[in-house]
Every structure is written in C-alpha cells, then in structure tokens.
Structure 1
C-alpha cells in the first residue's frame, strides 16, 4: 500500500488538492492522508459547490491541522511523500524556515528530514525576492517546487483537462502512474 499525504492550504486553486485525491482514489493501492488548513476550508467554499464531507470522504484518514502529534508528523510514518496543493506563500515560507506550528508544515518538515518527496504547488503570482529565496531554500533541501502552470501543447478542451495535466505530473513526481 502506497501512502500519500495531501495538504490543502488557503491559496486559490483548491481544485488541485481535490482532484489529486479523486485521481488517486482510482487506485485501491493508494492510501490518502488529508490535512486541510482552516483557510483552505474558506477558500473551498468560495471556489466550489463541493461539500466538505465529499472532500473528507476522498481521504482514508483526515487529520486536524492543529494536531502536530498526528501520525503523519512522525518520521516513523512511512509514505511515498507529500503534496501541498495548493500551497500558500505562508505555508511555503513556514516550511522553508522550519516553522512547524501546524500539521501541514510539520508533516512537510518530516518528509524533508526523512528524504522523501515533498511537492509544493505554490499558487501566488507575482513573486517577490523573499518568496523566491524561500523557494530556492526549499529546493536546496530537497523539495520539488511545482507551480501548477497550465500546459497548452496538449490543446485542453476544458479547465479540468488543464487541472488533470498538472495533477498527473505531480503524481509522476511520486512515481505514481495512473
């Protein structure tokens, strides 16, 4: 069984986290652990008509964002890695600086220290020098910086095709091929 941690933060683009879980649910060999920040729940209401119960139902286990003692915050919790999608600049900066005051940043920190794959789908633009320095710091310590930039060479016919292309590429980083 492959385990994947999904963190959803308050940045716009919550569809990325939701769609990642929908795609992974097609493989019964993947166990999904979800952490959503309080801000993510607010953003979700603005961006979608989806119920929180639906999103929670996509995960095998849902973790409270304030529970920094959750199983996923331990190096002994084996996983393929973690995807933070979307990743707010706040969360990205917390991870880069080792500020582990919430479960998303704590779990991400553990993923990095255990040399597992951490993917941060940063959804801010434009970026200033401080953002770029934090992203560089994350890349240096092993994170995959993955801004979900739309691809058009595949001539997408819908927004979901654009989202799916980014999500499938994120999953490729974890060696998950659906």
Structure 2
C-alpha cells in the first residue's frame, strides 16, 4: 500500500514562517511530505527568516531534511515545473494539500482551474479527486475579487483558513501567534499536536 502523503506549498505571500513551522510539525508527526516552494516564496523566506535556500530542489531537500531532522525519504522537495511528479496526477494524489501562505494570485488561479505551475496543478488534482485542500491566505484588506474567489472555492469544500491568529491564549512571542495558525491547520488535517491547548482547557478558571 502506498504511503499517504501531505503536500505543502509555500507561495510568495508574507508569512513564510507559517509554512516552515507547519513543515516542521508535520515532520515531527512523522508525516510524509511533498514540498513545493514558489520562486517568490524563496525570496520571502530569505527576507523573513534566517534560512538561505539553494536554488535546486534536491539541494533544498537536503538542507531542510537536515534542518528539521527528517527521516530518510520523509521529505521530498519538488520542482515548480516537475510535471512528472506524483502529485500532478490523480492516480497518485496526496491525502491533503495545504498552501501556506497562499497568495491571492495562487488562490485566483486555483479558483479558475489554471495549472501554470506544479503548485496550481497539484491543487487542481486535489479538487478533482475530492481530497482536502486548505488555503492559508495572508493578505489584507480583501477585494471583492478575493472574496468571490474564496466563496467559489469554499462551495467546493476548500478550507479557507486566513492567517488570523487569536489572542485568548495570551501570546508573549511571535512564535505563539504562528503556532496558533499552524495548530488550526493540524486540527483540520486530523494530526495531533501540543502547540495550543483546545478551547476551554485554559479558560476554565475564568467566569463569564
């Protein structure tokens, strides 16, 4: 039986740390991951984090495998035009795909069935095979075009999960805000974690 996989795509919206933290937690949870990184995302990662990713997918895979201490074969980084990759076909579709963060351009392409890159094609395959697709949009404010694209995808069962962290867990560090969003993604994927306590556990002493 083929090992279930989760596809993670990081696009060029600000908030690359969300995608990287998600990747780390999936590795910790012993999930097999296909990783896609757009060209703008590589620039954003360099701007917003201390990671300096090489240009070739195999070199990125080696770096991230060591960085996150992934098991051999647990992480596979795919090229943006690698059309023979398993995720380009419904016969080898992942069990789920998360685009984190997701640009408005990527969201629009998916909503309109465009497949100009492997990221968009993989999302299209997920949709047609009726698997789970989660889009972590990180842009504000939203135009009518953005909202209409979101509605179109939501009607197809896509989870629109904006990077809007809550504050009821009283975060003291940026990492806690990142973990809030990553925890919600993992919840939707059905993957156990210890990032954020479930609602109510830490609120029990409070009287409303």
TM superposition score category, shorter chain reference:
over 0.9
Q: How many residues align?
A: 177
Residue 88 in structure 1 maps to residue 108 in structure 2:
no
Q: Are 1:80 and 1:174, in contact at CA under 8 Å, matched by a contact in 2?
A: no
| Compared CA separation, residues 101 and 69, structure 1 to 2 (3 A) | farther
Alignment of 1:111-130 (within 5 A): 111-130=126-145
Question: Larger C-alpha radius of gyration, 1 or 2?
Answer: 2
User: 1:165 — aligned with what?
Assistant: 180
Normalised TM-score (structure 1): 0.94
Q: Distance in 2 between matches of 1:41 and 1:126?
A: 24
User: 1:20 — aligned with what?
Assistant: 22
| Aligned counterpart for 2:148 among listed residues 127, 130, 133 | 133
Which sections of structure 2, spanning at least 5 residues, go unmatched? 54-59, 69-73, 194-208
User: 2:56 — aligned with what?
Assistant: none
Tell me which of the two structures has the higher relative contact order, counting C-alpha pairs closer than 8 angstroms and 6 or more residues apart. 1
Q: Distance in 1 between matches of 2:83 and 2:183?
A: 29
| Compared CA separation, residues 56 and 64, structure 1 to 2 (3 A) | farther
Q: Distance in 1 between matches of 2:64 and 2:163?
A: 20
Runs of 4 or more consecutive aligned structure 1 residues displaced over 3 Å after TM superposition = 53-59
Q: CA RMSD in A?
A: 1.4
Q: CA deviation at 1:56?
A: 6.1
Q: Distance in 1 between matches of 2:144 and 2:84?
A: 33
Q: CA deviation at 1:167?
A: 0.4
